[in-house]
A = this chain, B = another copy of it.
Amino acid sequence: MLAEIVAIGSEITSGAKLDTNSQWLSQQLSDLGIPTGFHTSIADDLEANVACLRLAVERADVVIVSGGLGPTLDDLTRIALATVINRPLVLDSDALTTIEEMFRKRGRVMSDRNRIQAEFPEGSTPLANPIGTAPGIWLEIPRSGKSPCLVAALPGVPSELKRMFEEQVVPRLPATGEVIRRYRIHCYGCGESQADELLGDLTARGRDPEIGITAHEATITLRIEARGKSEAECQAKIDEAKGAVWSRLWKFAYGVEDEELETVVLRTLAHYGWTLGVADCATGGWLARALGALEAEYPGRALVVTGVEEKVAGVLLADLEDDIHEHRVGRLAAATREHLRVNYALATEPYPDLTPDEIAQSRLRIRVAVAGPDGILVDSLAIGGNPAILPARIGKTALDLLRRELPSRLQ
């Protein structure tokens, strides 16, 4: 069984609005064992709507349509669906009563245009909308040589769509007897192709469970997706795949699921009752933001001082002025540790003011350092590459250096 999500509206195809419904619907269907093969967004054009819906009914077994159910001339989903099944639109008096009632309750006058929201393709089932004026539509469209295609049209307002999907579409979808479960493992310090090579045939297509690789700001994520008849079966497959991934990428793997490097670091620090100080001259606020986002979960665990080196030095480290360059970032970390009276300190080295193009081409390496009870560790990274992710790369390199130094590893 394969699903297609169709989002209708020129506000989406024009870029005025970001469609988030399709992502949410795919996640829900996936949990029910129904994979989504296609997302389609169409402008408010009847011919295009009819053609896209015909194609969806042909290539997918479940089609979830969002949007185009409002009262305006732009709203074409009702008439497009009626055209696809070659039936007229007919007024549903129960639906009309409900819409009239909704307007009365909100103390508003119902416009004549809203009557059209009570019209449905003949033979379809209205789906009640408990929190808005647009009812949805449920259709089972016969197909030659195949099971009927199940079509649900829902309003585009996310809160209405979500509630109606859960309450009225899910119970109408057939049980697939299949369960899908996912698991993510995150790595830092290796490239996407290096990870792919280390994993060998584990990422081959058609493998069960499937293992995909994605990269985001230099973090490499392995996404395991297991299908089975039960949650236990999926879990067993995931456990096996986890072991296989682990044995090949243990050097780089730092966390799972929603864990970021900073989560792992702060959790470990909190476990031991330790604190962290950061003198950041390079990430332009990235470290402050990453650690600051966890302030509520691990209050007071990390104290971040940002600013160019002169500032940090001026305030914290006046004695470092004539330090030789190579040891500077290590000394900065050590001085930060002492000055802020923390258990561990991170420091990042400032780098020259470069344009994005100069960064992309640069062969410069910059240093990050950790100072802890056992001394000072320094690592470095090449700044060349995508300038947009450089702050994240520097911050993550610093956090990863600290993570490796801390006693506990993955849970």
Contact = CB atoms under 8 A, between A and B. Distances in A.
Nearest to A286: B292
A361 B105 contact: yes
A114 B30 CA distance: 31
* Residue among A132, A192, A292, A385 with max Cβ neighbours from chain B (10 Å): A292
Interface in A156-189: 157, 159-160, 182
A106 B38 contact: no
Interface string A10-23: 11111111111011
A323 to B, nearest CB: 19
A77 interface: no
Nearest to A280: B292
Given A30-B15, A295-B284, A307 B315 contact: no
B17 A24 contact: no
A243 interface: no
Contacts of A38: 13, 40-43, 48, 52
Nearest to A387: B131
B293 A73 contact: no
Q: Nearest 7 A-B pairs (CB), nearest first?
A: A285-B292, A15-B26, A288-B288, A15-B27, A289-B289, A39-B41, A159-B388
Contact of A71 (B14, B113, B193, B385): B193
B292 A300 contact: no
A284 B10 CA distance: 33
A45 interface: yes
Interface in A1-58: 7, 10-20, 22-30, 35-45, 48, 51-52, 55
Interface string A91-115: 0000000000010011111111110
Given A105-B382, A292-B306, A304-B304, 19 more contacts: A10-B212, A11-B223, A13-B37, A15-B26, A40-B41, A73-B205, A74-B213, A108-B194, A130-B360, A131-B385, A131-B387, A280-B292, A284-B294, A285-B295, A288-B289, A288-B292, A289-B292, A303-B315, A304-B305
Contacts of A130: 357, 360
A89 interface: no
Given A194-B111, A205-B74, A296-B284, A39 B39 contact: yes
A205 B306 contact: no
A20 B18 contact: yes
Q: Copies per complex?
A: 2
21 contacts: A11-B214, A13-B37, A14-B27, A15-B28, A16-B27, A38-B52, A40-B41, A72-B203, A74-B205, A106-B382, A107-B365, A111-B194, A131-B356, A284-B296, A285-B293, A288-B289, A288-B292, A292-B306, A295-B306, A314-B341, A315-B340
Nearest to A225: B14
Given A22-B41, A23-B18, A39-B41, A111 B197 contact: yes
Interface in A62-78: 70-74
Contacts of A45: 37
Contacts of A29: 15
A15 B25 contact: yes
Interface string A106-140: 11111111100000000000000011100000000
A264 B293 CA distance: 24
B305 A303 contact: yes
B386 A157 contact: yes
A11 to B, nearest CB: 6
Contact of A39 (B40, B74, B213): B40
